Structure 1
Amino acid sequence: MSASGESAGSARRAAEALRERITEGLLEPGCRLVETELATELGVSRNTLREAFRLLTQDGLLSHQPNKGVRVRRLTVEDLADLYRVRRLIECGALRELAELPAGERSFDLAAAREAVAAGEEAARRADWKACGTADIRFHQALAGLAGSPHVDRLMVGVLAELRLAFHAMGDPRRFHEPYLGRNRQLLETLASGDAGKAAQELAFYLEDSRRQLVEAYARVAAAPM
């Protein structure tokens, strides 16, 4: 591999590491990213880190402002609306596609979804709502993964990382995440029964409720005095 190819690979790995931190809720919207610190933590040069920043800026996760440096991006209400539009197309679409399969072909692997549901319930028992949010994201990644498409998997990684930025707007994370634990369990049971069509309908209502809650939270944040 050429030196430039190695550098590009290092930048992609650094970008993936930062995206994972965002997905896990470790980097919040507005957080300033300090080049010297992150380059040391990730074991890359500052030039490589800047390329990683550029990749994540293209993905809508970071923003760069002159004289202010690179920060984790704050989503807008318009961003949220678009994210949920994409989620309905991908997640509900994946389940509807499963529902169209012949009855004998509707056996699909729910191991990742089961693991995510169990992780969310365990996090709730510990009152670790950040971990609960991460488990919820893993659950939805697993739902999209039922499409069996690497392209869909890659797209959902970015979509759900952006969505995690929206979770920070919720003043009470327990109030937001706790009700969806039962709904995730119900979706899993519906899929396990083989009724992917019903699961797609349940998920559509679920996503609309989630979208509405987040939009209302964003409205409260925008109305709050600075």
Structure 2
Amino acid sequence: MAEGMTEVSGLADDRALLGRTSTAERVSDILRSRIAEGYFPPGTRLSEDAIGGALGVSRNTLREAFRLLTHERLLVHRLNRGVFVRVLTIEDVEDIYRTRRLVECAVVRGLGDPPYALDGVAGAVADGVAAAADQHWKGVSTANIHFHRELVALAGSARTDELMRSVFAELRLAFHVVDDPRRLHEPYLERNQRILATLREGDAARAERLLAAYLEDSLAGLVEVYGRRVGEGA
């Protein structure tokens, strides 16, 4: 018993880290959302003083949040210059889509027997249609990301959801560089509806084929416009 107590007593020194880590995770959630919304565009330097003051958190807590987001590949630390929102390379974009194909297509392929729980997917489709009707193309982009997150959620795997949350957040770094979001996102509204209808029919195999073609076309279109913008120094 004495030996066990000795081992556990060392954990008391880590107690202070619990509150700081929890706060850092909450701060990273806030910053992740802001980055996803384009509030901090790719290439932006993040000021510790300004952000720490606005959120009312310590420098150490903010640095821990930065570390978490750097691990997620949303931020990059440049020696003697500070922390910046990442600017993706074409290779980054291609790798993101490689991961998307591996995960999203596998989820749809492994759905099993219908019916499927499609309320979340249908809600994302409806949000995209409503945003397009309002000419809110960033809203269409957000709804499109939600559509794919809801597809992944059909797997019922918290680990897969967590993985793809990070992948989709990174993908939006590329979307924020594109100067014509309507051209990029509008064509996929109808394709989202088609995938949803196919899943409602219980044909997961056909839905997977539609999704695979969708991702291939989406990658080609994004690489074309993104490569041009990055080449211009965006």
TM-score interval, normalised by the smaller of the two chains: over 0.9
Matched, 1:96 2:109: yes
User: In structure 2, how many angstroms separate the alpha carbons of the residues matched to 1:223 and 1:26?
Assistant: 23
Match in the other structure for 2:214: 206
SS of the residue 2:147 aligns to: helix
**Contact map agreement 1:169 1:217 (CA 8 A) in 2:** no
SS at match of 2:186: helix
Query: 1:15, CA displacement in angstroms?
Result: 0.9
Give the fraction of aligned pairs with identical amino acids, expressed as a percent.
51
* Deviation, structure 1 residue 185: 1.1
After TM superposition, the structure 1 = structure 2 runs for residues 178-197 of structure 1, keeping only pairs within 5 Å, are 178-197=186-205
> In the alignment, is residue 171 of structure 1 matched against residue 201 of structure 2?
no
Residue by residue over 1:114-145, the C-alpha shift from the partner in whole angstroms, topping out at 9 and shown as x without a partner, is 11111111111111111111111111100011
Please give the alpha-carbon distance, in whole angstroms, between the structure 1 residues aligned to 2:131 and 2:81: 36
Determine the structure 2 residue equivalent to 1:52: 65
Q: 1:149-181 CA deviation, whole Å, 9 max, x = no partner?
A: 000000010000000011123221111111111
After TM superposition, which residue ranges in structure 1, 4 or more long, deviate above 4 angstroms? none
What's the CA shift for 1:148? 0.6
Q: Give the structure-1-normalised TM-score.
A: 0.92
In the alignment, residue 37 of structure 1 is paired with which amino acid? A
What code does the residue aligned with 1:201 have?
R
Give, in angstroms, the shift of residue 225 of structure 1.
6.7
Match for residue 10 of structure 2?
Answer: none
Q: CA deviation at 1:205?
A: 0.4
Q: 16-25 or 69-78, which moves further after superposition?
A: 16-25
| Matching residue of 2:91 | 78
Other-structure match for 2:143: 135
In structure 2, distance between residues paired with 1:125 and 1:221: 27
The code of the aligned residue for 1:161 comes to A
Letter in 2 for 1:162: E
* Cα displacement (A) at 1:43: 3.4
With structure 2 as the length reference, what TM-score do the two structures score?
0.89
Paired residues, number: 221
- CA deviation digits over 1:41-96, x for unaligned, max 9? 33321210110001111110001113322111000111111100100011110000
Name the CA distance, whole Å, in 1 between partners of 2:93 and 2:63: 27
Paired position in structure 2 for 1:223: 231
| Amino acid in structure 1 at the alignment position of 2:204 | A
CA distance in 2, matches of 1:27, 1:197: 39
Q: Which amino acid aligns with 2:218?
A: S
C-alpha spacing 1:121/1:216, structure 2 compared with 1 (3 Å): same
From 163, 166, 170, the counterpart of 1:162: 170
The residue identity in structure 2 corresponding to 1:170 is V
Cα distance in 1, alignment partners of residues 64 and 116 from structure 2:
38
Do the aligned partners of 2:32 and 2:69 also contact (CA within 8 Å) in 1?
yes
2:117 paired residue number: 109
Q: Is the contact between residue 15 and residue 53 of structure 1 (CA under 8 Å) also seen in structure 2? A: yes
Distance 1:50 1:28, change over 3 A: same
Q: 1:22 aligns with which of 30, 35, 43?
A: 35
8 Å contact from structure 1 (residues 62, 73) kept in 2: yes
Q: Secondary structure at the match of 1:2?
A: helix
Cross-structure match for 2:4? none
Q: Is the 8 A contact 2:43 2:86 kept in 1?
A: yes
The 3 A distance-change label for structure 1 pair 223 and 30 is closer
Residue 224 of structure 1 and its aligned partner are, at CA, apart by 2.6
